Amino acid sequence: MATLGLLAETNIRPRAYQLEMLEESLKGNIIVAMDTGSGKTQIAVLRISAELEICQASQIIWFLAPTVSLCEQQYKVLSLHLPSVVIKLLLGRDNVDRWSSQHIWDTALSGVRIVVSTHAVLADALSHGFVVMAKLALLIFDEAHHCVRNHPANKIMKGFYHQQGAELGLTSRPKILGLTASPIVRSKPEELRIIEANLDSVTKTPRINRQELNQHVHIPELIEIVYSEDCLGSKARSSTLELLLDRVQDTENQCLKYKLCLLSAEETAGLSKSSLTVRNWSTSAQEQLKRFSARSRYIQQELGSWASEYYITATISRVTSSMHLRQNARLDWKDEERIHILNALGKIRVVESLNPPSLQNISNKCDSLCQFLKGAYSKDFRGLIFVEQRVTAIALCQLLSEHPETKNLFSSGTFVGTSTNQSRKTEIADLLDQKCQNEVLKNFREGSKNIIIATSALEEGIDVSACNVVICFNKPPNLKSFIQRRGRARHEKSTFMILLSSGDNADLGAAWERMESKMVEEYMRESRQLDEECRVLDEIEDDSMTLRVESTGARLTLDNAVGHLHHFCAILPVYCYLDSRPVFTFQTETTGRIRGFVRLPNSVHPSLRQATSLRSWQNENMAAKDAALQAYVALYKAGLLNDNLLPLVPGDEFEETKSAEDLSSMVKIQQQHNPWLDIAKKSATTEKRYLTSVKVRVAGEVVISNKLTLPTQICSLPWSPLPEQGIRSEICIDDSEEITDPDNFHLDSCQASTRSMLRQVGGTCITGCQNSLLAQVTPPITQDELRAWIRHFSTDNFEGPRDARLEHQPGTRSAVPLVSVPISQKQELTSTTKWLHDPNRFAKFAPHIIHRLETLLLGGEMVDRLHLNVQLQRVHLVAQALCLPSANALSSNTRLAFLGDTVLDFLVTGKLFAAHTTWHEGYLSAKRKLIISNAHISKMALQTGLDKFIITKSCQEKSSESPKIPDIYSDDIGRTRDLSKTAIANVVQALIGTAYLQGKLKTALKCAQVFIPELLERPADFSLRMACGRRESAGVPHFGTLEKLLGYKFHNTSILTEAMTHPSCEHDLTTYSYGRLAVLGSSVLSMTIVQSLYSGNEMISGNQLQLVRAATINKGFLAFLCIDTSLDLDYCDIQESGPSRFSKVQRQQNIPLWSFMRLGHSQMVSDRAEFLQKHAKACQGIRLILASGKSYPWRDLANLEANAYFSEIVRSLFGAVYADSNGDILQCSLLAEKLKILPIMRRLMQDNVDIMHPKNRLGELVGDRSVTYRSDSTLENNYYCTVRVNGKQIGDAQTAPCKQGATIRAAEQALRILRSNLETSPIGTCMG
């Protein structure tokens, strides 16, 4: 028998009827129909074990259950019985819906043989092609009766299982095992054939061993209790409920007025009733309030006024407390939503304590329940009470714990199931703590609780075997529920009680039992087979209604098209005054059939914004599905979806870079290249020698001047600062000159003297081939004079003490043979030998001279190795770019990296904008962010070999050991060092900045392409003008006045139209909103600012440059400029100058920049007018501060709380000018002058205005101490904020109209207090 070999593995001793069902399952697909508690899961375990022995090792067995709780339970059972097999539990709380790449799924399922999940998880994975049917060996459907209609279980079968059989044959599909206590739901016999056809299975129940099955299944006694309905006025009413209903109605009336403003008359006329329903303008907060009031009313009807009073009181207390203190992370409301809810509920006075429940304040139905419980109580009582709604479970649990008849007899808990969506907001009307539910089940099994009040979530599968009383507070809705609930009572002599109203059918329970008997008789017939006529009851959709991606197997159908389209729109950029959901409209044709249309938000390319159903339909629902399918197909063909039919973020388009971001922040790189290796090789292979002049000056006076002799040329280094020596010191290295007659120089004659000085200066010596010196130092004289000097001071004439001691800086070593040659004490001092008089001076500066020399050698070598000779000719800047701050504090790459970062962002954004014309701003921003991320840049840089040239050590950190010939030639091969990705990326950015300083953007682009391969790909018809959404210029608004204000004449005015189009302007179906141009313009503006900063400001540090840029491109500043920029337009008017006399007068009209914005939302107009009026005085103050203030108006700009569209307009205009001029950055500079950005920037720098943000200033003041800001809103629509330094609060709470303003005020206060305290005590003492 096939099962005998499985018993040891599964640790199961199967009963005969379980083995009977296993044998039937091995013969073909079956649905096992057995009563609850009869051991269906054990049959599944046996069937899985059998399948694991015969299926391929690469195949998976997938166990499906309808609820999270049931999945968790079955996962534990399978793990217990199959410990040697890798089993995976996949639930929504694991964020499986965000697993948007094949790599993630392959990794998650690697080595897994069994997966347990809900139906939705597998259905979604199949629809996107992450899992294919061929991968599955066996599908197990627990609670198989769900496989009907549009349930995810049926979508799996209909969309993939049956489709696979039709395309590849029946053998290509997995085997099926269904488990259920009732295969039919609604008492209709034909449902049995439908469920069998859907699951491609035959329902089976034990026949041969039926008697044994009956011995293990105990049918409880059925009791029906009829209660009388509450008569009007016979019971107390909840006054708190009445007050709640009034408050919610008041807020609803206010929302209704708001909705009417949202829809213009034109839009209302153009939308059908169905489309308005789909659009659903209601706010989330108001909908929650309406649900709260509806549930409160429902509780009063079901349980009475006491329960309603309790529920309302408890909910309001919990919500107000959580929203004030933000204790519940899932109550993540927007501030305006929180204020709306608090204003509505805060005016309801709730009772502090309730009197115990009594007959007058509980319903007759509830009273009947209490009386039954009192009569049924025993010390072994274990009961389940099934209710319809979650809130009923909450209130009834509390009622039983306080009712005089039950509180001393019963300890109750609730179980209502769990949500799989971790991001779902908690309902304000939901008092349940879902984390406690598993504890409730545990306590029930252990006996510390004897009642569980549950919803239908506990009907199916959850093991509550200790139960002996089951109560249906509401009559079961169908036969399935009747059987499932009855099966919960597993003890012998159990009771199954149903509460029925006087108007219900008193024979309801008996009727269901008769229907159950007929059903069992039907699937006990031995000759039963699957009805061939129903085998494919749901016809497979034709190809025109299906999109299938061959590479992944992902499928788009009518059933999932609407959901996919909503998901795509949900991740579009979010804007105020815009509902980003797709809008469906319908048109009835003359035939009476309906055609559907869908319109997407205007951040989608104009060519993709509209779609029409392929055919007409009998109802709007199918027409909407068809239109959604056509829209989604168009998005896929346009490249806005990946091959898994998911949006690109973060799909295949960005997967490689995204995976790099997940790596450690530190990487191992090659050891720093030894430049003397190359010198040694050249010394051995060439006779050429070069003289290089090296000078050091202190306080403007040259104190060291000599010439270095090397077998290679050294690039020049202009005067550059050296580390502080108590006074400003600088070094300069001139270009090398070749020695014209090296044979007559007799340089070898200086070997002894040079070696002697090298030992005296630092105790180190670098040697080349045959132990010869790689370099020598000579006086700063001409070549002819030098020849004479060498002959005179040859080795034979050396009279000085070879071991004379020279003072040198402690801790410094000379790593290179850069020496002075000692002279005879008898020799007369001449201009040629003055440089030899102060050997201590040479010892002091030698390490720094050596270090600069090495950086130049490394820079030159890097340029040669990476073939950047054309792009990077200024090697001294290349050397600076390679130096991290740790290697050269006075001349690090910070300033160059800041420039390169801006240039790279500018180049990448422009490339993406032109190359991906259908990408909305969300895609552009995401891709740009990933390309210029430190992780991606460092990854690309390591592939080029740049890492070995990065300079990380200063001259003080050099090894004191003298390198020998083997050390030179080994070049540290195989040795590594640790470096952060940020540091590597900074080097790349600094090199790009160096290239920009040499040859502007063209040269910078060529350099960047070496490290950023994405910049190599440029479209054949690269044109920024052609990259805008609307290319034709006919029919666009006339913007002549705006062009005059901007000082720029557009070649294609449709680009200007796009720049001024707000996302709410949905009536224009041919124009993008300004989002794409704003992304481009942000980079263009930053480039314009930085380009101006680098013109004549070489002494400004990198940090100061960052502060200036932040002050001139931040959202608040740009919004202020948009509000403040205007044009005075002259016009003629007629005025009456006397009786019947009129004259012409000249007038001016002030037209602000913001007035040209195209919008489609009436509320936006009124909100804007209110904002401008409210902040007119504040804008005057900001204008004055920017013109003459000593500090930057960070707080005033924050308190403006200007809507994002003000700043977005300015950014989009820069993008528009740049695109229309085909990349002319000069035109953008002129625009920055016109909008006063550059004049204000120059004023900030010239007057030394304090532009550092107060938060940054505070962080700078406290150093390494932690700074935390705590802010929240008040009922007066203000915000408050407190600052803590090292846990100690500094000052009191500061308030402001907005959160950012309150934070800045708090930081400013903390700065004042700490600075004041610093005058009397150290900062550590000030902060405890």
Task: Quick: pLDDT tens for 862-920.
Answer: 888 888 877 677 888 888 888 888 776 556 788 899 999 999 999 999 999 998 999 99
Q: Tell me the percentage of the chain whose pLDDT exceeds 90.
A: 40
The pLDDT value given to residue 955: 62
Split at pLDDT 50, 70, 90, the class of 1322 is low
- Tens of pLDDT along 1018-1053? 654 456 666 675 545 445 567 889 999 999 999 988
The pLDDT value given to residue 747: 58
The pLDDT value given to residue 773: 61
Split at pLDDT 50, 70, 90, the class of 275 is very low
The pLDDT value given to residue 13: 78
Place of tokens 């979010």: 574
Q: Which two tokens stand for residue 427?
A: 């309902």
Mean pLDDT throughout 699-722?
79
Lowest pLDDT segment from 500-509, 612-621, 982-991, 1208-1217: 500-509
Quote the mean pLDDT of the chain: 80
Please enumerate in sequence order all residues whose Cβ is within 8 A of that of 915, keeping only pairs 6 or more positions apart, or say none.
Answer: 1017, 1018, 1019, 1022
Residue 905: Cβ-neighbour burial (10 angstroms; 0-12, 13-18, 19+)? buried
Cα gap 814→757, rounded to integer Å = 11
The pLDDT value given to residue 367: 93
The pLDDT value given to residue 778: 66
Split at pLDDT 50, 70, 90, the class of 492 is confident
Beta bridge partners of 733: 694, 717
Lowest pLDDT segment from 162-176, 964-978, 1186-1200: 964-978
Q: Residues 1220, 1051: contact at Cβ < 8 Å?
A: yes
The pLDDT value given to residue 661: 42
The highest-confidence range among 131-145, 409-423, 813-827, by mean pLDDT, is: 131-145
pTM given for the model: 0.78
- Tens of pLDDT along 210-247? 888 888 888 888 899 999 887 756 677 888 888 888 88
Q: Residues 618, 588: contact at Cβ < 8 Å?
A: no
Other Cβ atoms within 10 Å of 594 Cβ, number: 22
> What sign has the CA pseudo-torsion 1054, 1058, 1060, 1063?
positive
The pLDDT value given to residue 957: 55
> Does the pLDDT of residue 648 top 80, yes or no?
yes
The pLDDT value given to residue 744: 60
The pLDDT value given to residue 1166: 85
Cα 105 → chain centroid: 19
The pLDDT value given to residue 865: 86
The pLDDT value given to residue 1210: 96
- Tens of pLDDT along 558-591? 989 999 999 999 989 988 888 889 999 999 999 9
Q: Which residue has the higher pLDDT, 819 or 115?
A: 115
Mean pLDDT throughout 154-173?
80
The pLDDT value given to residue 126: 94
Split at pLDDT 50, 70, 90, the class of 431 is low
The pLDDT value given to residue 1057: 92
Main-chain dihedrals φ then ψ at residue 343, nearest 5 degrees: -65, -35
Residue 226 parent element (H or E): strand 221-227
Lowest pLDDT segment from 383-387, 557-561, 717-721, 1103-1107: 717-721
Split at pLDDT 50, 70, 90, the class of 856 is confident
Q: Which two tokens stand for residue 80?
A: 């217990």
Mean pLDDT throughout 704-718?
79
Mean pLDDT throughout 600-620?
93
The pLDDT value given to residue 878: 87
Split at pLDDT 50, 70, 90, the class of 961 is very low
- Tens of pLDDT along 1236-1263? 999 999 999 999 999 999 999 999 999 8
Beta bridge partners of 1198: none
The pLDDT value given to residue 890: 59
Residue 128 amino acid letter = H
Mean pLDDT throughout 76-83?
92
Cα gap 1250→410, rounded to integer Å = 70
Q: On the CB side of 228, how many CA atoms lie within 13 Å of its CA?
A: 5
Name which of 1244, 952, 1263 is nearest 1110 in CA terms.
Answer: 1244
The pLDDT value given to residue 544: 66
> Does the pLDDT of residue 437 top 80, yes or no?
no
Mean pLDDT throughout 1190-1213?
93
Show the DSSP H helices in 1060-1201 as ranges: 1075-1093, 1102-1113, 1115-1124, 1162-1174, 1176-1188, 1194-1200
Whether omega for the bond prior to residue 675 falls within 30 degrees of 0, making it cis, is: no
The pLDDT value given to residue 465: 64
Mean pLDDT throughout 447-452?
92
Can you give the three-state secondary structure of 701-748, one letter per residue? EEEEEEEEEECCCCCCEEEEECCCCCCCEEEEECCCEECCCHHHCCHH
Q: Residues 613, 597: contact at Cβ < 8 Å?
A: yes
Residue-wise DSSP of 1005-1067: HHHHHHH-GGGG---TT--TGGGSS----TTPPP-HHHHHHHT---SSHHHHHHHTB-TT-TT
Mean pLDDT throughout 626-631?
96
> Does the pLDDT of residue 1114 top 80, yes or no?
yes
Q: Which two tokens stand for residue 799?
A: 């009279």
Split at pLDDT 50, 70, 90, the class of 527 is low
Q: Residues 1251, 1111: contact at Cβ < 8 Å?
A: yes
Q: Which two tokens stand for residue 149?
A: 């209609």
Mean pLDDT throughout 9-24?
82
The pLDDT value given to residue 836: 42
> Does the pLDDT of residue 48 top 90, yes or no?
yes
The pLDDT value given to residue 1283: 94
N- to C-terminal Cα separation, the chain = 79
- Tens of pLDDT along 763-778? 443 444 444 566 666 6
Mean pLDDT throughout 77-91?
93
